[in-house]
């Protein structure tokens, strides 16, 4: 068995170059994540993922993607999913739960079918952050709801149905990005809410999830750890 390192890497383009092949063989990352720049067509993506798996001699080698739907659609060159935001499904859940169960399951099944064809086996969903009016739009309609019980229930549904389709999930952005006033890709958000508040609100939607993986939020919760972001805080 290959001794893999505990990191995930991206790649530059639509196929591996010589330098990247040497890098993968030498440093043996745990997995590879694909972005829009890597994804041009079905045949090209299949060829790319097949090549990666061949390097590691592992047909189950972890290949990840951010395929949420809505504006986070890495496969936008293949399919238009602009309408299918988390907010859309959250509103459907509240209005007609029976319809939600049918439509959202169908959406997940079809997403998984496409990912399986492409050779991708982990999707970084669901987003379990709460929606807050006035917060950074980095979450916005990527959130199912402003209520933690609704987000939690939809999250369980999402994880269960991706798992049934043999696609791994990554809950994000643990333990909650919804209150952030700035985009953590550009600045470090600082959230001043008390631990009691967070446990009853933002953190609650992440509890008891049967996802194998979680993506941490690059956020400072100053009442818990005023120095380190979640990603670097042992306390959090």
Residue for token pair 């739907």? 69
Model confidence, pTM = 0.95
d(CA 214, CA 169): 8
Residue 3 has pLDDT above 70, yes or no: no
CB 52 within 8 A of CB 32: yes
CB 53 within 8 A of CB 61: yes
Q: Share the mean pLDDT of the chain.
A: 96
Residues 114-132 have pLDDT tens digits of 999 999 999 999 999 999 9
Q: How far is CA 45 from CA 90, 117, 123, 236, in A?
A: 31, 9, 15, 37
d(CA 151, CA 59): 33
Over the Cα atoms of the chain, what is R_g? 18
pLDDT at 2: 54
Residues 87-104 have pLDDT tens digits of 999 999 999 999 999 999
CB 55 within 8 A of CB 25: yes
pLDDT at 12: 98
Q: How far is CA 183 from the centre of its chain?
A: 16
Average pLDDT score over residue span 17-29: 97
Average pLDDT score over residue span 202-229: 97
Average pLDDT score over residue span 70-75: 98
Cα angle at 7 between 67 and 140, to 5 degrees?
A: 35
pLDDT at 5: 74
pLDDT at 1: 47
What's the DSSP call for residue 121? Answer: -
Average pLDDT score over residue span 166-183: 97
Residue 82 has pLDDT above 90, yes or no: yes
d(CA 60, CA 65): 15
**What percentage of residues in the chain have a pLDDT greater than 70?**
98
pLDDT at 22: 98
Task: Determine phi and psi for 47, rounding to 5 degrees.
Answer: -65, -40
Helix H, strand E, coil C: the string for 155-176 is HHHHHHHHHHCCCEEEEEEECC
d(CA 106, CA 112): 10
Residue 76 has pLDDT above 70, yes or no: yes
Residue 23 has pLDDT above 60, yes or no: yes
């Amino acid at each position: 068995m290959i001794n893999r390192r505990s990191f995930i890497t991206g790649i530059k383009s639509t196929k591996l170059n010589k330098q990247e092949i040497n890098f993968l063989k030498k440093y043996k990352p745990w997995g590879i994540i694909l972005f829009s720049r890597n994804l041009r067509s079905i045949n090209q993506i299949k060829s790319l993922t097949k090549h990666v798996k061949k390097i590691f001699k592992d047909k189950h080698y972890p290949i990840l993607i951010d395929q949420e739907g809505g504006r986070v659609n890495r496969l936008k060159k293949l399919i238009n999913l602009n309408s299918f935001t988390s907010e859309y499904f959250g509103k459907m859940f509240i209005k007609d739960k029976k319809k939600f169960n049918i439509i959202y399951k169908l959406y997940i099944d079809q997403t998984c079918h496409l990912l399986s064809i492409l050779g991708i086996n982990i999707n970084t969903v669901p987003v379990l952050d709460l929606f807050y009016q006035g917060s950074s739009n980095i979450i916005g309609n990527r959130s199912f709801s402003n209520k933690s019980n609704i987000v939690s229930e939809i999250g369980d549904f999402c994880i269960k149905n991706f798992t049934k389709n043999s696609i791994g999930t990554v809950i994000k952005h643990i333990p909650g990005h919804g209150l952030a006033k700035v985009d953590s890709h550009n600045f470090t958000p600082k959230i001043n809410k008390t631990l009691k508040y967070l446990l009853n609100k933002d953190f609650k939607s992440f509890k008891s999830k049967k996802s194998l993986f979680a993506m941490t939020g690059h956020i400072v919760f100053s009442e818990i750890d005023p120095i380190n972001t979640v990603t670097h805080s042992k306390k959090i």
